[in-house]
Amino acid sequence: MTLFGLPDKYFLVSGHSEGETLLNAFDNALLNAGIGNTNLIRLSSILPPAAALIQPPQIPAGSLVPVAYAFEWSDEPGLEIAAAVACGVPHDPALPGVIMEHHTFSSAEHCREICVGKVEAAFRHRGWTWKDIKTASASHVVQSAGAVFAGVVLWK
């Protein structure tokens, strides 16, 4: 028996923001991503078999939200920060997918490329092939305290 049951849906989110402090910037990035008034439960990196990609639903405030995510924050003005997630969906729907995360001091594109490479490596290691790789990323040039966030939310 599990606390949540096996999720059968997923969606990707990303956000970026400034804040008065690094923690406020992170909170604001979550708000920008659409999951700021929830309680995140950080996951490792497996997508349940046959999970369907959906549009982000309205999530009630205070909900427990299972999410695999990456984030970065900095208070160095002018620094570009980025976070990305990549979700590999296997050809065989009986197999689970793989979610990878990455965060860096660079562009969203560079961060996303690294993340996709991690998914490809995970599939090669398992001897599986992927049907699709979905990504979400965010970047931000820090003004005073900035944060970026990217996540894959598993949903039932």
Dump pLDDT digits (tens) for 60-95: 999 999 999 999 999 999 999 999 999 999 999 999
* Model confidence at 4: pLDDT above 70: no
Strands (E) across the chain are located at 9-18, 39-42, 46-47, 52-53, 64-74, 80-90, 97-104, 130-141, 146-155
Predicted local confidence at residue 5, as pLDDT? 80
DSSP state of 127: T
Total number of domains in the chain: 1
61 part of a folded domain: no
- Which sequence positions are flagged as catalytic? 39, 44-45, 101
* Model confidence at 3: pLDDT above 80: no
18 part of a folded domain: yes
73 part of a folded domain: yes
- Domain with 99, as residue range(s), is 9-50+66-146
95 part of a folded domain: yes
Predicted local confidence at residue 1, as pLDDT? 41
CATH of the domain at 32: 3.50.20.10
pLDDT > 70 in the chain, percent: 97
115 part of a folded domain: yes
pLDDT tens per residue across span 104-122:
999 999 999 999 999 999 9
